[in-house]
Amino acid sequence: MLKLPWHMVLKAQGSAGDASGMALHGKVALVTGGAQGIGRAVAETLLKNEAKVSLVDLNQSVGEMCKKDLDQQYGEDNCIFIQCDVTDRGKLQEAFQSTVERFGRLDIVINNAGINNEKNWEKTIEVNLTSVIKGTYLALDHMSKEYGKEGGVIINVSSMAAFLHSPHQPVYTATKHGVIGFSRAMADASEQGQYGVRINTLCPAFVDTQLLRTVEHEETMGKFVKFKDEFKERMDKFGVLKPSLIAEGMMRIITDESLNGAVMKITCSKGIHFHTYEPLSA
């Protein structure tokens, strides 16, 4: 397999770039939480690289606006928007099925939808962890060679909160730890079971999206809102990333076929890099 350095192959989002941008022609991606923020950024980069994209999101109005914008930029037949609550197993299953029926295949799944709500912490677990598990299993239903499919790649979105816990978001932090553990275990299962599906995790630091603004509000932070000043100090200290850099990291995971079980970290201080784990000792 010819392996070009990934930056030679892809058009980064938002830049003219002189890369061929043909890397993903004919590929189909499903992005949960794709209507805004990080999900929209990666959807744009996927479309720029000639993939077809299924935007799966709870927010009907924002999702329809996102699709309208992307249609204008990339043509009307290259993305669809499916209104779906990822915590609704049946609806999520239908979203996957509709995507395959519309585009004929599925190659890339990005379980990105997430919330930050310490008041309704059960919902946070449902969206950030349980639905990532559901989305991973549905992705395997449509991509795994164990079911006669052609293989593919899954990106589950965690956070640097899994490496630098904070008193402001204990349950959010727990869900992001869980995403890493589940994804690494599933990557091993995929390798040993010869599913042909690479499963990787992405851990951004602070990113300039709507989610980051929830830290100000009692209705999302509950009693932990009293720690918001410390949280904002931490944001000042570590900096805030652009969604486009997260999209760049995701494209690297998608195009580097050597990556399975990887935990990519993206921070202002170190950019795109990977967490290394000590080998298990007896």
Ligand X SMILES: CC/C=C\C[C@H](O)/C=C/C=C\C=C\C=C\C(=O)[C@@H](O)C/C=C\CCC(=O)O
Ligand Y SMILES: NC(=O)C1=CN([C@@H]2O[C@H](COP(=O)(O)OP(=O)(O)OC[C@H]3O[C@@H](n4cnc5c(N)ncnc54)[C@H](O)[C@@H]3O)[C@@H](O)[C@H]2O)C=CC1
Q: What is the number of other CB atoms lying within 10 angstroms of the CB of residue 235?
A: 15
Q: Give 58 or 259: the residue with its C-beta nearer to ligand Y.
A: 58
Torsion of CA 33, 38, 41, 43, to 10 degrees: -30
CA-to-CA separations, 272 to 149, 161, 245, 246, 253, in angstroms, rounded: 31, 16, 8, 8, 11
107: nearest Cα among 81, 140, 82, 148: 140
Which of 100, 125, 212, 272 is close enough to bind ligand Y by CB under 6 A? 212
Which of 65, 89, 97, 115 is close enough to bind ligand Y by CB under 6 A? 115
Q: Give 68 or 123: the residue with its C-beta nearer to ligand X.
A: 123
Q: Give 149 or 168: the residue with its C-beta nearer to ligand Y.
A: 168
Length of the chain: 282
Is the distance from CB of 52 to CB of 27 less than 8 angstroms?
Answer: yes
Task: Specify the stretch interacting with ligand X by CB under 6 A; choose among 24-32, 33-41, 62-70, 159-167.
Answer: 159-167
Return the SS3 of 156: strand
Which of 54, 99, 214, 255 is close enough to bind ligand X by CB under 6 A? 214
Task: Specify the stretch interacting with ligand X by CB under 6 A; choose among 59-67, 69-77, 185-193, 209-217.
Answer: 209-217
Partner whose footprint covers residue 249, from ligand Y, ligand X, none (CB < 5 to 8 Å by kind): none
The reply to whether 116 sits near ligand X by the rule CB under 6 A is: yes
Which of 24, 30, 51, 127 is close enough to bind ligand Y by CB under 6 A? 127
- CA atoms of 195 and 39, how far apart (whole Å): 26
Q: Give 29 or 246: the residue with its C-beta nearer to ligand X.
A: 246
The reply to whether 82 sits near ligand Y by the rule CB under 6 A is: no
- CA atoms of 239 and 141, how far apart (whole Å): 39
Is the distance from CB of 187 to CB of 199 less than 8 angstroms?
Answer: yes
Q: How far is the CB of 5 from ligand Y (least distance, A)?
A: 26
- CA atoms of 155 and 204, how far apart (whole Å): 13
Token output for 236: 């000042």
Is 195 one of the catalytic residues?
no
Which of 46, 82, 143, 157 is close enough to bind ligand Y by CB under 6 A? 157
Q: What residues numbered 220-279 form the site for ligand Y, per CB under 6 A?
A: none
- CA atoms of 172 and 71, how far apart (whole Å): 34
The reply to whether 269 sits near ligand X by the rule CB under 6 A is: yes
Token output for 19: 């890369």
List residues binding ligand X (CB under 6 A): 116, 159-161, 163-164, 166, 205-206, 211-212, 214-215, 238, 265, 267-269
